[in-house]
């Protein structure tokens, strides 16, 4: 895919477009998402003859947009308090719970409630509902929603809830900052075997049976970032499932505004970058787990139940530099200096971030996905922990007829 083709994909600002709503009897802080959520697999071209498995919206959409609503709420509260820029809080954790499948043909409507507030640590809850009736959208593709949809009757129960925390930035205590060596070091030989753009695109639906049917070349319409999947098959060969690894490389499709551009307030902008990571790392995790569990040809259902993301650094270290796709990986980063908050001598921070995923547990119809998010400079910025349903087709009549191996 060329740069011009990537230009057609939605940016963060477009994909997660959020509009403030007037307060009502339930909440002072309300928002509506006005863009349809991404649907995994909807972007396969017709010639791939890809059957439709589901209609549920991409879970990372409501997860990240809930965090965005929380950030907008907290920013408004800080502005009301006239909080100095140096004392503003940054995104710290997102703990989300998926209680119903999202309908991508209807908007998400968010209510935010401040829970606790101190100068260094604060929490909010976010509840997401969808209308119980179809959108009044006049968009031919039904991918935009009018703000008036917020007046439609809501479903009786929320589809998603979250607790989100914010924390003040601070230096390392006693100068202590430790982490394991980053994947740029541990997987140097694998990562150095190709340029980032020479790895295949992350599949729209990363299931063995689907990839065998449609091939490995489909980029799709996943927004916000360009994402590449590293071939870890040789490394994983013969290892038990919990020791295997998957590596995903990703970079921004278009830049996000920073305070230096004169278009933002600094901390709020850094929070947006943290939300990009939250949006991205939900992609395909449970599906990759199913491949490693031997369910890549018989998967019946995979769905997130809970998803937690913890940012270990001050939020400004989540900021993603925008640059050329051809920028390579730094496979010898001065990660120890970077993790201590110093600036490595002569280091180009790069544009490609790394998601390192593994699958430590499966059972009782569920699977766990853990991921670490690594900066281009080798800093362990965040950790994801996801628990979700994974169920195989167990009866002959349930198996998909299109599957050539069944």
Q: Return the structure tokens found at 84.
A: 């100095």
Q: Which residue reads 């150095």 in tokens?
A: 192
- Condensed to tens digits (0 to 9), the pLDDT of residues 285-342 reads 999 999 999 999 999 899 999 999 999 999 999 999 998 888 889 898 887 777 776 5
Could you say which DSSP state residue 196 is in? G
Q: Report the alpha-carbon distance of residue 110 to residue 79 in Å, rounded.
A: 20
Q: Report the alpha-carbon distance of residue 372 to residue 381 in Å, rounded.
A: 8
Residue ranges per structural domain of the chain: 3-171+181-398
As to burial, measured by CB atoms within 10 angstroms (0-12 exposed, 13-18 middle, 19+ buried), residue 202 is buried
How much is the pLDDT for 44?
A: 81
Q: What is the mean pLDDT of the chain?
A: 89
Q: Does pLDDT of 266 surpass 80?
A: no
| Region for 340 from its dihedrals, namely left if φ exceeds 0, alpha if ψ lies in -120 to 50, beta otherwise | alpha
What crossing angle do the helices spanning 59-81 and 267-280 adopt, rounded to 10°? Answer: 170
How much is the pLDDT for 150?
A: 96
| Region for 364 from its dihedrals, namely left if φ exceeds 0, alpha if ψ lies in -120 to 50, beta otherwise | left
Indicate the pLDDT class of residue 350, thresholds 50, 70 and 90: confident
Among 148-152, 223-227, 344-348, 385-389, the minimum mean pLDDT is found in 344-348
Percent of the chain with pLDDT over 90: 72
Q: Return the structure tokens found at 12.
A: 């963060």
Among 86-95, 145-154, 248-257, the minimum mean pLDDT is found in 248-257
State whether residue 211 is helix, strand or coil.
helix
CB 34 within 8 A of CB 145: yes
CB 96 within 8 A of CB 160: yes
Q: Looking at domain 3-171+181-398, which CATH architecture does it have?
A: Beta Barrel (2.40)
How much is the pLDDT for 396?
A: 53
| CB proximity list for 113: less than 8 A, separation 6 or greater | 27, 29, 124, 125, 126, 127
């Amino acid at each position: 895919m060329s740069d011009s083709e990537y230009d057609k994909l939605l940016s963060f600002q477009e994909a997660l477009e959020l509009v403030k709503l007037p307060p009502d009897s339930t909440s002072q802080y309300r928002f509506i998402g006005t863009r349809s959520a991404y649907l995994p697999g909807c972007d396969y071209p017709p010639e791939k003859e890809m059957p439709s498995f589901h209609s549920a919206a991409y879970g990372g959409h409501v997860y990240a947009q809930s965090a965005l609503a929380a950030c907008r709420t907290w920013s408004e509260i800080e502005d009301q308090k006239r909080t100095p820029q140096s004392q503003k809080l940054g995104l710290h954790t997102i703990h989300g719970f998926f209680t119903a499948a999202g309908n991508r043909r209807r908007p998400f409507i968010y209510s935010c409630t401040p829970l606790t507030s101190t100068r260094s640590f604060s929490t909010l809850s976010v509840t997401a509902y969808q209308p119980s009736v179809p959108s009044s959208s006049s968009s031919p593709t039904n991918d935009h929603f009018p703000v008036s949809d917020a007046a439609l009757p809501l479903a009786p129960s929320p589809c998603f809830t979250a607790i989100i925390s914010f924390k003040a930035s601070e230096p390392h205590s006693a100068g202590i900052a430790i982490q394991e060596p980053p994947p740029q070091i541990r997987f140097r030989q694998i990562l150095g075997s190709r340029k980032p753009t020479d790895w295949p695109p992350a599949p729209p639906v990363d299931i063995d049976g689907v990839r065998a049917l449609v091939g490995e070349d489909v980029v799709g319409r996943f927004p916000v970032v360009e994402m590449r999947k590293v071939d870890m098959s040789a490394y994983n060969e013969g290892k038990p499932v919990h020791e295997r690894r998957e590596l995903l490389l990703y970079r921004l499709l278009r830049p996000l505004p920073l305070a230096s551009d004169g278009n933002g307030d600094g901390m709020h902008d850094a929070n947006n970058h943290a939300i990009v990571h939250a949006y991205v790392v939900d992609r395909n995790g449970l599906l990759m787990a199913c491949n490693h569990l031997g369910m890549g040809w018989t998967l019946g259902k995979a769905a997130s139940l809970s998803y937690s993301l913890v940012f270990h650094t001050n939020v400004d270290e989540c900021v993603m530099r925008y640059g050329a796709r051809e920028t390579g990986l730094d496979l010898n980063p001065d990660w120890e200096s970077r993790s201590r908050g110093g600036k490595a001598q002569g280091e180009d921070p790069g544009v490609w971030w790394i998601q390192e995923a593994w699958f430590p547990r499966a059972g009782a119809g569920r699977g766990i996905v853990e991921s670490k998010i690594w900066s281009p400079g080798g800093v362990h910025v965040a950790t994801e922990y996801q628990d979700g349903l994974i169920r195989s087709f167990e009866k002959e009549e349930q198996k998909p007829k299109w599957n050539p191996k069944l």
